[in-house]
Every structure is written in structure tokens, then in C-alpha cells.
A and B are shown apart, each in its own frame.
Chain A
Amino acid sequence: MTLDHFSLAIFLLFEASRVGGYLRRARQPMLRGPAWFLSVRVDDAFHAGPGPHILRRYRRWIALPFALDVVLGAAILWSGHWTLLNALVVGMTVVVHAVHALAVRRAEREAREFEVDGEDRAAAAVVLSLAPRRLRDYANATLELLIAVITLIPFGWLTARYLRDTAHADLRMLFGKPLLLLYVQLGILYLKHVVLSWRSAARPGQAAEQLAVREAVRRHHMARFDMARLLVAFCALYWPMIVAAAPEERNGVLAFWLALWILAGLAVALWVESQRRILREMLARTAPVALPEPFLEASPRMRPLCFEPATPSLVIEAPGGLSINLASTTARWAFAYVAGLAALLFVVA
């Protein structure tokens, strides 16, 4: 098995997992039974009238990314640069989530015209927890120690090898790949920070339950990211073995590791699916929370980007749509991360 074959295998597994993801998202509007459409309370007249049409349109929207990756995937396969499929998988992960978020927003906006017992969202009270949220509250000390040890092993081994033969060793070749994988770990830590800053508020009445569900979802994502960090740290172990192996043995070592990664990835995917089922049951039991941005002193005009240093949110809801706040800490870290990645690729490539 070569890196090309590995990339193709990962792409095919990704596509297979997306079918399950699509079916899950397609059922999402009806998760809480016929009384709700996403977070909008509806009645039988909605299901007999505009409901099916809105639902069909929502399902068409979330199916759109399939068309995109079939075309791009075919183009990459035809070009022969199969390792680009890895970049396609990462890119499509972002696109799938973004398109889903937009489709949900659009469908809710359409359904809200037929809402029953609708409340004045801007005027309704909100309840929030005063418990501080810090990254360390979502960290498992044993897991962190394990990740640190696994991360240090390749660097320790490669440093020792470099020191043994400084004259002939190539620093970029030795440390490039482990450094990139370490940077990926940093990126996952950034995602944990994003999840930490998710808005967590509820409506009076079912506030405790709604906040508990929100917290359970946050913990689920934090655990997923920790698993991903462990997998990435584990991935880096392959490189010292490749460096140490004789040239004729390298393909065999690589094939062994690629098979191991796929198995580990499948195990994590199964665990994530079992956790999702528990969360879905919790979500179905609680009424949804549709929180507006009611208290902003000055709402930005509708535009895709804005710069509001006094507002901590990454996404601001303006009267005409969403606006990404470039002044938020989350946005600034994202820019710093992308710039750092570009610099690292330039140095190690």
C-alpha cells in the first residue's frame, strides 16, 4: 500500500461516512416529533401545507456538497495526484458543516412564517449559567499526559539521531513531518477553544435541562477533539520507523502504519456514533432554544464581514443576515493559525 492508495482509501471511507451524516441531517428537522420543525413550533397545517416543500428544499441544500466533491474527487483522480484527496477531505468537512448551518438557518426562517404560539424572541428573557468555562475543565489529565508522551517520543528519537550524525542529517527531512503533525494538534486545540466559546444560554422554564444538553454537546465535541489529538500524536510515531528502516523495507513499514491508522480511525468513528445516539435522545427530550442577539447596543449592517472589537462573538446576527466579526479572538486566532501553517509549509517543504 502506498500513500496514494491510503489517500484513496481515506477518501472512500469519508464518502461512506457522509452518507450516514446526510441521512442524520435529513432527519434533523423532525427530531422532536411533528410539533417541531427544527427549532420552530408548528402544527398539522404546516405539515399539510408548506412543510414538505421547505423540508425538500432543506434536503436538497444539504446534498449540494456531494456534487462538489464528486466533481473535485474525479478531477483529482484523473490528474494522478491522489494525495490531494486528503486536502479535499479536510476542505469538504468544513464545507459540509457550513452548508448545513446555512440550510438550517434558511429552513428555520421559512418555517417561522408559519410558527404557532410564536414568542417575541427579541423581547424574551434569557437564562445563563454563572459557572466559568475554562479549557482545563474539559481536559483529562491522564489523556493529556499520554498525548504529551506520544508526541515527545518521535522528537526525542529524531533529535538523538540528528546529534549522532549532525554532518549528514537533513533537519527539514528529519523534523518536517512531525512538526506539521504537531501543528495539526495545535489546530485541534484551537477548535476546542472555539467550542468552549459557544454561546450557552437558555429560556426560562426549561433552562436547567437546556443548559445541561448544551453542556453535554460541548463535552462530546471536546472528547472528539481529544481523540483526534491522540490519533494525530499516534500518527507521528510512524516517521522515526520510516527513517530507521532500510530503503527496501520502507513500503512495508508504511503499509503497516496506514492500515493501523485506518483501523484506529474506524474505532473512533464507531465511538463517536454511539455518543451521538445518546445526545440525540437528550436533544429530543428538550425544547429547542432559539436565541437572538437581542442586547447588542449597535447591530452591524448586513454584510459578510464586520469589525466590532467590543463584541466577543465570532458571528453576529444583523437584521439582514449573519456577519463574521473579524475583531473576535476566535477570528484573530484563525488568521494567526493559517499564517503559521503557510510559514511552516514554506520552511519544511
Chain B
Amino acid sequence: MLLTIDPRDSRPIYQQVADGIKALIAQGKLAEGASLPPVRQLAADLGVNLNTVATAYRELQKLGLVTISHGTGCVVTSSRTTERSQDQLLRTLRAALTDLKLSGVPSSEIRGLVSRELGTGAKRRKP
């Protein structure tokens, strides 16, 4: 369960943390019931402020993927988000596909990318 943070990425650090954890949940590497590290530990390891990690965890909580409680910390409770409808998610996907096409990525490469992403997720979810 490794998380990579890249300062050259245009997304803010809290977004990278939230997206990284979301990806691990989607791939099944972080199963329901798995504990995430305390805010203090993750912030110290990354060398960021406590608020950065706390914001990332709150974002995951808003999506319904984790619950945060005083005693047990941050725990993965679901592998499905509850915040956005299927229509909204499809709109996001269409926008991303459009961006890829407009930036000149060939359709075959986009298809490969999508199946790679889905393949990893499906493989991890099987057990």
C-alpha cells in the first residue's frame, strides 16, 4: 500500500493524497475495514502540515469512502462513493476523454489506458 506524491503534479498535495487513497480503494488494495494512518503520521512522513492531510481525509469522508472517529481514527468503510450520481460521473468521464482526444492521444492508446485501469481494479477485487 504505497502512496506517491509528486510536487510537479498540478494538483494540490491534499488532492493527491485523497486521489491516491481513492485509487487504492478502487483497486481493492485498501479493503473495507482497513485503517488509514493517523493524520499526524502521514503529515510527518510527507513533511506537510496537519491540515493538508486532515483536508484529504475529510474529502474522502464526504465521498462516503471512510469514516473518521476519535477512537478508531480513519477507517475505510466503503469502496463506492455516495456523493455523485452516475450521470455526474459519466459527465466527468466524457470530459476527461475529450481532453485526451484534444491533446492528441490516439484512440487506441485511450482504450488501452481505460482497459488497463479497469483490468487492475477487476483483478484486485476478485478475492
Residues of A at under 8 Å CB distance from B?
122-133, 197, 199-201, 204, 207-208, 211, 291-297, 310-313, 329
Contacts and interface: CB of A to CB of B under 8 A. Distances in A.
A296 B41 contact: no
Nearest to B73: A132
Contacts of A207: 2
B41 A295 contact: no
Interface string B14-48: 00000001001000001000011110111111111
B40 A329 contact: yes
A333 B34 CA distance: 30
A199 B35 contact: no
19 contacts: A122-B7, A125-B4, A127-B4, A128-B2, A128-B3, A129-B45, A130-B3, A132-B35, A132-B41, A201-B45, A204-B4, A208-B2, A291-B47, A293-B47, A295-B5, A295-B7, A310-B51, A312-B40, A313-B44
Given A129-B2, A132-B36, A199 B7 contact: no
Contact of A295 (B1, B8, B36, B46): B46
A125 B5 contact: yes
Given A132-B37, A295-B7, 12 more contacts: A125-B6, A129-B3, A130-B21, A130-B36, A197-B41, A199-B44, A199-B45, A293-B47, A295-B46, A296-B47, A296-B49, A311-B49
B93 interface: no
Interface residues of B, number: 30
B49 to A, nearest CB: 4
B38 A132 contact: yes
A24 to B, nearest CB: 28
Interface string B48-67: 11111000000000000000
B3 A127 contact: yes
A204 B2 CA distance: 10
Residue of A127, A291, A292 most packed against chain B (CB within 10 A): A127
Contacts of A297: 48-49, 52
A125 B9 CA distance: 9
A333 to B, nearest CB: 13
B68 interface: no
Interface of B: 1-8, 13, 21, 24, 30, 35-38, 40-52, 73
Nearest to B37: A132
Contacts of A208: 2
B47 A313 contact: yes
B54 to A, nearest CB: 10
A131 B1 contact: yes
Contacts of A199: 44-45, 47
B47 A310 contact: no
A329 B40 CA distance: 10
Nearest to B36: A130
Nearest to B9: A125
Residue of B6, B36, B44, B50 most packed against chain A (CB within 10 A): B44
A127 to B, nearest CB: 5
A291 B48 CA distance: 13
A226 to B, nearest CB: 21
Nearest to A131: B1
Contact of B46 (A122, A126, A132, A211): A126
Nearest to A295: B48
Contacts of B43: 311-312
Contact of B47 (A129, A131, A294): A294
A322 to B, nearest CB: 13
A305 B12 CA distance: 29
A207 B4 CA distance: 10
Contact of A130 (B8, B24, B48, B51): B24
A197 B47 CA distance: 12
Contacts of A201: 45-47
Contacts of B46: 126, 128, 201, 295
B73 A295 contact: no
Nearest to A330: B44
Contacts of A313: 44, 47
